Amino acid sequence: MKKNYFLQGLMVFLILSLIFGNSLPVFSHTNHNFGSVSPGRTSTETNPLDETIKIVSPLSTVPAFVLQGGSFHIKLEAVAINQVYAYITTSYEPLVDEIWLDILEIHKSNNMWLLTVSVPPGTPEELYNLTVILDVDNTRYSSTRPRAVKVLTEFPNSFTFAHVTDFHLGDPRGFRENINQTIGWKSIKKCIEEINLLQPDFVVISGDLVYGQLYPYEYSREYEKCFEMLQLFDVPTFLCPGNHDGYNRFREDGLDFWKTYFGPLYYSFDYGDYHFTAINSYDAPAPLRACLFFIPLNWGGLY
């Protein structure tokens, strides 16, 4: 009986994917065309496919740690800059604080800009969204990355971090165990809620965030939903991909979706005196990451 329910559910997934599978991915940053207005004014007009400006780092999946009064780097992709502004806003406070950053240096290489910015002394210790505003040819644009900056009073002598793996968002196998705990991604939400209660200094998620092995055009749905759910964390999060995140199937390459929604496949970061490195263990040419229907050619690490 359980097997029949599983097959019926599988058929529903396949039908839905054929109907909705061609939807465009939504980028993990937002861009705003403000017109000629003063810094700080907001707008509801958004176009997520507008690539006039894009914050490359820091991200909600690779945030920056900065001490009060200290500085950090913003990597920005933009064709041109006449004037630039940057500010941070609190992510989870009921009354949002808006704190403008001092821009210390600007360096350009092709269409990539590196901004060195400083956080004012006395900035509350909190997790912040980051926004950069550009004036280009009498038009104002902005890009926002949620949960991208963590301000600290100091790096503690001892700290804690949570290690999570195998979210497998979209995996139907949990239905066989307990559908009430699985449907609506309840188990993932419960995991995030418990980590938020523990309040570690940060979270490391080491791969297999999505499933990517069930129906055509699955990644376009799962990556968008996974990015949305990751914003439920109220502590900094760092990600690296696993094999389920990187299959090449049905004209969808999972690693392309990863870079669009989550950022780099390789990176490192420091927390005080400690250095962490994220490595993509499923790094291989697309043909070696092929997945035919439900069967991947390789599911182990390829690095």
pLDDT at 170: 86
Peptide bond into 200 cis (omega under 30): no
Residue 34 to residue 134: CA distance in whole angstroms: 10
261 exposure class (CB count in 10 Å sphere: 0-12, 13-18, 19+): buried
What b/e string do you get for 167-203 counting C-beta neighbours within 10 Å, with b at 16 or more? bbbbbbeebeeeeeebeebebbeebbeebeeeeebbb
- Count the neighbouring beta carbons within 10 Å of the beta carbon of residue 209: 31
Provide the β-strand partners of residue 267.
278
Radius of gyration of the chain (CA): 20
Judge contact between 214 and 7, C-beta under 8 A.
no
Residue 71's alpha-carbon distances to 125, 151, 173, in angstroms, are 14, 10, 46
Whether pTM > 0.85 for this model: the answer is no
| pLDDT < 50 positions in the chain | 1-50
pLDDT at 184: 64
Question: Percentage of the chain with pLDDT > 70?
Answer: 79
pLDDT at 33: 34
pLDDT at 37: 34
Query: pLDDT tens for residues 78-112?
Result: 988 889 999 999 988 778 899 999 999 999 988 89
Looking at domain 34-152, which CATH architecture does it have?
Sandwich (2.60)
Query: Beta strand pairing status for 267-271 and 274-278?
Result: antiparallel
Looking at domain 2-27+157-296, which CATH architecture does it have?
4-Layer Sandwich (3.60)
Structural domain spans, the chain:
2-27+157-296, 34-152
pLDDT at 250: 82
pLDDT at 21: 40
Task: Tell me which amino acid residue 32 is.
Answer: H
